[in-house]
Amino acid sequence: MKIDKRIVLLVSLLLLTSCSRNNLSSNSSSISSSSITISSDSLPLSSELSSIVIDPLAYYESELIRLEELKKDTKKLYLSSNVNRDNLIDEANRSYWKGYSSLIEFTKEALRNINTRNRFVEKFGEFEVTYLENIDTKKIFFNREFPSINYESVIKNGNTILENIKNNHEIKNVLSSFESFIGECEKLMDAYCIYNIYKDLYVDKSEYLIEFNDISKTYNEVENIYNKIYKNLLLSSFYKQETINYFSLSEKDVENILKEETFDDEIIALFNEETELINRYGDQNYDQKELYLSLVNIRREIASKLGYDNYLDYVYSSVYKRDYTMEEGSTLIDNIILSDTLTTMYRTTKVGNMDYRLIGEYDLLEGLKNVSNVVSSSPKVLKDLITYGNYSFESRENKYGGSYKITLDSTGANYMFIATKGNIIDYTTVFHEYGHYLSSMLNKKEPNIDVAEIQSQGLEFLMSNYYSSFLDSKETKYMIEYNTTSQLWTLMSASLITRFENYVYTVDNIDLNEINRMYPYFESRILYPYSLGPTGYVNIPHIYNSPGYYISYLVSVVPALELWAENKMEDGISKYNKILLSNDMTFKEALNKANIISPFKKEAIEMIERRFNQIG
């Protein structure tokens, strides 16, 4: 398993959408803790069930109903003004998954009896019964254990392998040691991912954040050692062929491994310093404007020592592996902000008022069932998502306010983290992140970042064609208006942030006064009549933790809008499915495969202008 923090984790971790925290009104109706079963002690364990259950099928059906009622009661907690509301929601969720796990284990045991199995097949069908028999309850998210990692040992073992390669130690022992080291890397990745999720699930529990920060600082060095070992093995006439055979590497694998950059200790120290600074984002003990300048300066130093003219050149080619240039991106921005149609609609289109109804986890999961209209393979993916609980859709105050899809572990499992508002706007976010989730589950590798954002935004836009399937007419009209303004906002805000970052990283000797002067300058010319404030850049986490990323939203939103602008809905869906299975391609290659106009051509802007005119 190749561990590559600057690519795999940037792709998996940083595919974020802006989703503000849901602040519940203090006037919300209150329910007491006694109105919901939350005590896990009241749930029988699998080992206890055999002594109390007479009919496995009847018990299975009754427990599913009880668990469904538990979910519905949990939904009521979203309206609660109880001071323990967040703890009650958490306990209710854990009770659900504990009860579900016990039920699955009991039922799998009961299905060993051929008569019982035949009754289940008669009731639910062979597919459902076989699926149930193969559920691994250890993989249910709330049943996962936190990996224990000895960071110093991992680094020491890797350096020992490098030394043994240098001294031409016995091939089989070296390769066996490297295989063990890969296993340690996978555990490190698993720990990185699960602690990342838990620190966001419970932002008020510092122990998760502390552990995550320790792991993230280790990642730079471990990744570098990993790349050095693989490259040294493949560059050695003594080890090369045995390495290829041992790990069953294709020619493409070898080519990709040899392309990976390795760094000296000085650069790794700078990466570690950068990571420590990134981890201070959002910490009110640090001046966030000064923090940004510190990050810019250290990144300038990294780029200089690596031989790049500027830091964006480095991330474009090395981190994001883009096949387009900053100049092409600038042309796209010009085409957008000089479009009378887009700028006029952006400044004049308004969203009407809406008396939101409460929606929760159940509603969002039901909404995701409609994705089968766009992606025929979605039902199986969604079934696994629900079965293993690899998602967080609940609304809580002590939960991170962003949304993302993240790789959950080294086996290829994935997780959807959604910061919900508790109203119908959540559908846009959940469709966006589900686009990322589908991509990861339907492909063997993670996509190019720019392709990934077409996959997410494309699904988000195409699903607007099916709102009437699960929303009433008033809600459907409102959501189309909301989507229109949201898409226009993405075009303009991504243009602003990209232009701002391009300036910051390419102007010599920039200081904080210049940064604070230029941000409102660009904002007034692109984002007008709206504003994030004179230092609004501090509210954009991407420019702190993933500089140069934001243009991915821009170059991908145009193709995504093209899918939505197709005259025939089925043509947009067909092209989307080709993009969804393009994880082995560069951005431009994926566009060519799907026959989508390049966003850098004016024709692409003209196509979406026509669509917006139709809406207007």
Omega within 30 of 0 (cis) for the link into 529: yes
pLDDT for position 616:
61
Burial class of 533 by CB neighbour count within 10 A (0 to 12, 13 to 18, 19+): exposed
Cα separation, 66 vs 47, whole angstroms: 19
Angle at 13 between CA 196 and CA 480, to 5 degrees: 115
Those residues of the chain that have pLDDT short of 50 are 1-43, 46, 50
Residue-wise pLDDT for 209-258, tens only, equals: 999 988 887 888 899 999 999 999 999 999 999 999 999 999 989 998 99
Cα separation, 338 vs 561, whole angstroms: 18
Backbone angles phi, psi at 377, to 5 degrees: -90, 5
pLDDT for position 84:
82
Q: What is the b/e burial string over 274-313, where b = at least 16 CB atoms within 10 angstroms of the residue's CB? A: bbebbbbbeeeeeebeebbbbbbebbbbbbeeeebebbbb
Find the helix or strand (DSSP H, E) in which 176 lies.
Answer: helix 171-201
Tokens matching residue 406:
């993240």
Is the distance from CB of 538 to CB of 512 less than 8 angstroms? no
CATH 1.10.1370.30 fits 308-357+444-616, yes or no: yes
List of E strands, 518-584: none
pLDDT for position 162:
96
pLDDT for position 561:
92
Tokens matching residue 348:
């004049």
Tokens matching residue 420:
């919900």
Residue-wise pLDDT for 51-94, tens only, equals: 555 799 999 999 999 998 888 887 777 777 778 877 888 888 88
Domain edges within the chain? 33-143, 308-357+444-616
pTM for the model stands at: 0.84
